[in-house]
Amino acid sequence: LKLIKTKYSFYHHTCMADQCTMDTAPTGLVGRVACKNATNSADCVYAEVLHCQQCDTTFEYDRLHGVPALLDTAHVRNGVAGQCEEFSRLGHGVFVSLGFEARYVYDFTDHVWIELRIPAKTGQWIHADPSEGIFDNPKMYEAGWGKKLTVILAISPEEIEHVTARYTDNYPATVQRRGFSEDLLYKVISQANQRLRYELPLQRFGQEHKSSWDDPLQGVAAMVHFAS
Protein backbone atom coordinates (compact mmCIF):
# COMPACT_ATOMS: atom_id res chain seq x y z
CA LEU A 1 0.00 0.00 0.00
CA LYS A 2 2.81 2.42 0.81
CA LEU A 3 4.52 1.59 -2.48
CA ILE A 4 1.34 2.40 -4.43
CA LYS A 5 0.98 5.65 -2.49
CA THR A 6 4.58 6.72 -3.17
CA LYS A 7 4.88 5.51 -6.78
CA TYR A 8 1.62 7.05 -7.98
CA SER A 9 0.10 10.45 -7.34
CA PHE A 10 -3.43 11.75 -6.84
CA TYR A 11 -5.11 13.88 -9.48
CA HIS A 12 -6.16 17.22 -7.97
CA HIS A 13 -7.96 18.71 -11.01
CA THR A 14 -4.93 20.74 -12.06
CA CYS A 15 -3.73 21.43 -15.60
CA MET A 16 -1.99 18.57 -17.45
CA ALA A 17 -1.93 20.10 -20.92
CA ASP A 18 1.42 19.58 -22.67
CA GLN A 19 1.64 23.20 -23.80
CA CYS A 20 0.87 24.64 -20.37
CA THR A 21 3.72 25.15 -17.90
CA MET A 22 1.40 26.03 -14.99
CA ASP A 23 0.73 22.50 -13.77
CA THR A 24 -0.90 23.81 -10.60
CA ALA A 25 -3.47 25.86 -12.51
CA PRO A 26 -7.12 24.98 -11.75
CA THR A 27 -9.29 23.39 -14.43
CA GLY A 28 -12.97 23.31 -15.33
CA LEU A 29 -14.90 20.43 -16.87
CA VAL A 30 -16.02 21.07 -20.45
CA GLY A 31 -17.48 17.64 -21.19
CA ARG A 32 -16.77 13.95 -21.79
CA VAL A 33 -15.59 12.21 -24.95
CA ALA A 34 -14.48 8.75 -26.03
CA CYS A 35 -10.91 7.84 -25.18
CA LYS A 36 -8.38 8.26 -28.00
CA ASN A 37 -5.54 6.03 -26.83
CA ALA A 38 -7.25 3.15 -24.98
CA THR A 39 -6.39 -0.27 -26.37
CA ASN A 40 -9.69 -1.74 -25.16
CA SER A 41 -12.81 -0.60 -23.32
CA ALA A 42 -11.55 -2.00 -20.01
CA ASP A 43 -8.60 0.38 -20.02
CA CYS A 44 -10.53 3.64 -20.30
CA VAL A 45 -14.25 4.30 -19.96
CA TYR A 46 -14.20 7.92 -21.08
CA ALA A 47 -12.02 11.03 -21.19
CA GLU A 48 -12.81 14.31 -19.47
CA VAL A 49 -12.22 17.42 -21.56
CA LEU A 50 -10.83 19.99 -19.14
CA HIS A 51 -10.12 23.69 -19.60
CA CYS A 52 -6.99 25.17 -18.04
CA GLN A 53 -8.19 28.49 -16.74
CA GLN A 54 -4.87 30.33 -16.50
CA CYS A 55 -3.28 29.22 -19.79
CA ASP A 56 -6.62 29.09 -21.69
CA THR A 57 -6.20 25.68 -23.31
CA THR A 58 -7.95 22.33 -23.11
CA PHE A 59 -6.71 18.78 -22.63
CA GLU A 60 -8.20 15.32 -22.33
CA TYR A 61 -7.82 13.41 -19.09
CA ASP A 62 -8.49 9.66 -19.44
CA ARG A 63 -10.48 8.07 -16.62
CA LEU A 64 -8.66 4.74 -16.58
CA HIS A 65 -10.26 1.58 -15.23
CA GLY A 66 -8.02 -1.19 -16.57
CA VAL A 67 -5.32 -2.19 -14.12
CA PRO A 68 -2.45 -2.45 -16.66
CA ALA A 69 -3.30 1.04 -17.94
CA LEU A 70 -3.35 2.41 -14.39
CA LEU A 71 0.00 0.78 -13.67
CA ASP A 72 1.39 2.31 -16.84
CA THR A 73 0.62 5.86 -15.66
CA ALA A 74 3.96 5.65 -13.83
CA HIS A 75 5.56 5.95 -17.28
CA VAL A 76 3.10 7.84 -19.48
CA ARG A 77 1.36 10.33 -17.16
CA ASN A 78 4.07 11.25 -14.67
CA GLY A 79 2.62 8.83 -12.15
CA VAL A 80 -0.80 10.51 -11.95
CA ALA A 81 -3.03 7.47 -11.43
CA GLY A 82 -6.25 9.34 -10.69
CA GLN A 83 -8.48 9.68 -7.66
CA CYS A 84 -9.68 7.26 -4.99
CA GLU A 85 -11.62 5.14 -7.50
CA GLU A 86 -8.55 4.61 -9.68
CA PHE A 87 -6.26 4.01 -6.70
CA SER A 88 -8.70 1.39 -5.40
CA ARG A 89 -8.83 -0.35 -8.77
CA LEU A 90 -5.04 -0.31 -8.90
CA GLY A 91 -4.73 -1.67 -5.36
CA HIS A 92 -7.39 -4.31 -5.97
CA GLY A 93 -5.64 -5.54 -9.10
CA VAL A 94 -2.20 -5.68 -7.49
CA PHE A 95 -3.41 -7.53 -4.39
CA VAL A 96 -5.46 -10.03 -6.40
CA SER A 97 -2.40 -10.65 -8.56
CA LEU A 98 -0.49 -11.42 -5.36
CA GLY A 99 -3.10 -14.02 -4.41
CA PHE A 100 -5.21 -12.03 -1.95
CA GLU A 101 -8.99 -12.04 -1.85
CA ALA A 102 -10.08 -8.43 -2.27
CA ARG A 103 -13.27 -6.41 -2.60
CA TYR A 104 -14.25 -2.77 -3.11
CA VAL A 105 -15.69 -0.62 -0.36
CA TYR A 106 -17.94 2.30 -1.28
CA ASP A 107 -18.63 5.12 1.19
CA PHE A 108 -21.80 7.05 0.33
CA THR A 109 -20.14 10.26 1.58
CA ASP A 110 -17.74 10.10 -1.38
CA HIS A 111 -14.75 7.80 -0.97
CA VAL A 112 -13.68 4.36 -2.18
CA TRP A 113 -11.15 1.90 -0.77
CA ILE A 114 -10.73 -1.88 -0.58
CA GLU A 115 -10.79 -4.70 1.96
CA LEU A 116 -8.55 -7.77 2.02
CA ARG A 117 -9.55 -11.11 3.51
CA ILE A 118 -6.61 -12.46 5.50
CA PRO A 119 -6.19 -15.39 5.30
CA ALA A 120 -8.18 -16.04 2.11
CA LYS A 121 -11.49 -17.92 2.39
CA THR A 122 -11.52 -18.15 6.19
CA GLY A 123 -10.08 -14.88 7.48
CA GLN A 124 -11.58 -11.53 8.38
CA TRP A 125 -11.98 -8.65 5.97
CA ILE A 126 -9.45 -5.93 6.80
CA HIS A 127 -9.52 -2.26 5.75
CA ALA A 128 -6.91 -1.15 3.18
CA ASP A 129 -6.84 2.29 1.52
CA PRO A 130 -4.54 2.50 -1.53
CA SER A 131 -5.22 6.26 -1.89
CA GLU A 132 -3.72 6.90 1.53
CA GLY A 133 -1.28 3.99 1.88
CA ILE A 134 -3.07 2.90 5.07
CA PHE A 135 -3.78 -0.63 6.33
CA ASP A 136 -6.20 -1.65 9.08
CA ASN A 137 -7.31 1.76 10.33
CA PRO A 138 -11.07 1.69 9.67
CA LYS A 139 -11.96 4.58 11.98
CA MET A 140 -9.63 7.02 10.20
CA TYR A 141 -12.42 8.59 8.13
CA GLU A 142 -14.62 9.45 11.07
CA ALA A 143 -11.96 10.22 13.68
CA GLY A 144 -9.26 11.66 11.42
CA TRP A 145 -11.14 13.17 8.50
CA GLY A 146 -14.23 14.22 10.42
CA LYS A 147 -16.58 12.43 8.01
CA LYS A 148 -20.26 12.22 8.86
CA LEU A 149 -20.73 8.67 7.64
CA THR A 150 -24.07 7.30 6.44
CA VAL A 151 -23.78 4.02 4.52
CA ILE A 152 -20.70 1.98 3.61
CA LEU A 153 -21.01 -1.10 1.41
CA ALA A 154 -18.43 -3.77 0.56
CA ILE A 155 -18.92 -4.98 -2.99
CA SER A 156 -17.70 -8.04 -4.86
CA PRO A 157 -19.11 -9.84 -7.92
CA GLU A 158 -20.71 -12.36 -5.57
CA GLU A 159 -22.06 -10.25 -2.72
CA ILE A 160 -22.88 -6.82 -1.32
CA GLU A 161 -22.35 -6.44 2.43
CA HIS A 162 -23.36 -3.58 4.73
CA VAL A 163 -20.17 -2.79 6.70
CA THR A 164 -20.87 0.68 8.10
CA ALA A 165 -20.58 -0.45 11.74
CA ARG A 166 -16.95 -1.44 11.16
CA TYR A 167 -16.02 2.14 10.30
CA THR A 168 -17.76 4.14 13.03
CA ASP A 169 -17.87 4.52 16.81
CA ASN A 170 -21.38 5.96 16.65
CA TYR A 171 -23.50 3.72 14.47
CA PRO A 172 -26.89 5.19 15.59
CA ALA A 173 -25.75 8.58 14.27
CA THR A 174 -25.11 7.09 10.81
CA VAL A 175 -28.64 5.65 10.79
CA GLN A 176 -30.11 9.02 11.71
CA ARG A 177 -28.12 10.86 9.01
CA ARG A 178 -28.97 8.49 6.18
CA GLY A 179 -32.67 9.31 6.26
CA PHE A 180 -34.10 5.80 5.79
CA SER A 181 -34.62 2.82 8.06
CA GLU A 182 -32.43 -0.18 8.73
CA ASP A 183 -35.22 -2.44 7.50
CA LEU A 184 -35.32 -0.70 4.14
CA LEU A 185 -31.54 -0.78 3.76
CA TYR A 186 -31.31 -4.49 4.49
CA LYS A 187 -34.28 -5.19 2.22
CA VAL A 188 -32.59 -3.46 -0.71
CA ILE A 189 -29.27 -5.24 -0.03
CA SER A 190 -31.06 -8.59 0.21
CA GLN A 191 -32.79 -7.98 -3.12
CA ALA A 192 -29.50 -7.02 -4.75
CA ASN A 193 -27.77 -10.14 -3.42
CA GLN A 194 -30.63 -12.31 -4.60
CA ARG A 195 -30.23 -10.90 -8.10
CA LEU A 196 -26.48 -11.54 -7.94
CA ARG A 197 -27.04 -15.17 -6.94
CA TYR A 198 -29.47 -15.75 -9.80
CA GLU A 199 -27.66 -13.75 -12.45
CA LEU A 200 -24.02 -14.67 -11.74
CA PRO A 201 -23.15 -17.54 -14.13
CA LEU A 202 -21.83 -20.74 -12.59
CA GLN A 203 -19.65 -21.12 -15.65
CA ARG A 204 -17.97 -18.39 -17.67
CA PHE A 205 -16.91 -19.20 -21.24
CA GLY A 206 -16.52 -22.88 -20.37
CA GLN A 207 -14.51 -22.24 -17.20
CA GLU A 208 -15.71 -22.68 -13.64
CA HIS A 209 -16.53 -19.42 -11.91
CA LYS A 210 -13.66 -18.31 -9.70
CA SER A 211 -13.55 -15.81 -6.88
CA SER A 212 -10.89 -13.10 -6.74
CA TRP A 213 -8.40 -15.20 -4.81
CA ASP A 214 -8.49 -17.89 -7.53
CA ASP A 215 -8.35 -15.63 -10.56
CA PRO A 216 -5.31 -13.28 -10.80
CA LEU A 217 -6.22 -10.12 -12.68
CA GLN A 218 -3.75 -10.18 -15.59
CA GLY A 219 -1.28 -11.02 -12.88
CA VAL A 220 1.95 -11.36 -14.80
CA ALA A 221 1.43 -8.15 -16.78
CA ALA A 222 0.36 -6.26 -13.68
CA MET A 223 3.35 -7.27 -11.60
CA VAL A 224 5.81 -6.57 -14.44
CA HIS A 225 4.41 -3.03 -14.70
CA PHE A 226 4.36 -2.54 -10.93
CA ALA A 227 7.91 -3.75 -10.39
CA SER A 228 9.38 -1.68 -13.21
Query: Would you name the residues annotated as active-site residues?
Result: 84, 111, 129
Q: Which residues, including other chains, have CB under 8 Å from residue 169's CB and lie 6 or more apart?
A: 139, 142, 143
Element (DSSP H or E) covering residue 198? helix 182-199
- 3-state SS class at 119: coil
Please tell me the distance from the alpha carbon of residue 70 to that of residue 42, in angstroms, as a whole number. 11
Q: Are 20 and 56 in contact (CB under 8 A)?
A: no
CA 100, 152, 128, 104: dihedral to nearest 10 degrees?
40
Give the separation between CA 127 and CA 168, rounded to whole angstroms. Answer: 13
Which strands form 152-155's sheet, in the order they lie side by side? Answer: 134-135, 124-129, 111-118, 101-107, 152-155, 160-162
Report how far residue 165's alpha carbon sits from residue 174's, in angstroms, rounded to the nearest whole number.
9
Residue count of the chain: 228
User: What span, in angstroms and rounded, lies between the C-alpha atoms of 219 and 228?
Assistant: 14
